[in-house]
Amino acid sequence: MSYSITGLPVEQFQHLFGLPDEELARHAVVRMTSDSPVGYPCRVLLEDAKPGDTLLLLNHEYQPAETPYQGRHAIFVNEASVAPRCFVNEVPPVLTVRKAISLRAFDADHMMIDADVVPGPDVETAVLRLLEEPRTAYIHAHNAGRGCFAARIDRA
């Protein structure tokens, strides 16, 4: 079963890059500087920021469908992002290094039909299992600890 994991479109966030902190605050956005190699996962690059990188912490609507599962949460976006990364039949390390990932399978009507919480190294096995269900249209991955959206997984 082929799948792809693609970062969010950078165009959604570029208008915020480089703005002064006071202007970011008017948009409910906070600039942060990474101080560790793991802990600041960019949702465009699908990688943890390097120490010293600046990221924007902002609220993002990851599930816009008008269903009971419509949702928003905080995410990080690295200000050095220029284009989203795409992984085909490969889980990026930003997911596999996490203690636990929540995977939520949705059908074409954007209704959740299955879910699982797995250790980071087991993400691919769980994704492949969820994709075996023909009704699975896509999967959302969330960091289980803080609950923030991590990535969308689509059939390739």
DSSP secondary structure code for residue 87 in this structure: E
pLDDT digits (tens, 9 = 90+) for 16-25: 999 999 999 9
Q: Give residue 1's pLDDT.
A: 87
- Dist. CA 36–CA 49, nearest whole Å: 8
Please state the rounded mean pLDDT for residues 109-120.
Answer: 98
DSSP-assigned letters across all residues of 8-74: PPGGGTGGGTT--HHHHHHTT-EEEE--SSSS-EETTTTEEPPTT-EEEEEEEEEE-SSSTT-EEEE
pLDDT tens digits along 88-110: 999 999 999 999 999 999 999 99
* Vertex 145: Cα angle to 99 and 60 (nearest 5): 120
Over 90: is that where the pLDDT of 79 sits? yes
Whether residue 40 is predicted with pLDDT greater than 90 in this model: the reply is: yes
pTM: 0.95
Q: Domain limits of the chain?
A: 3-155
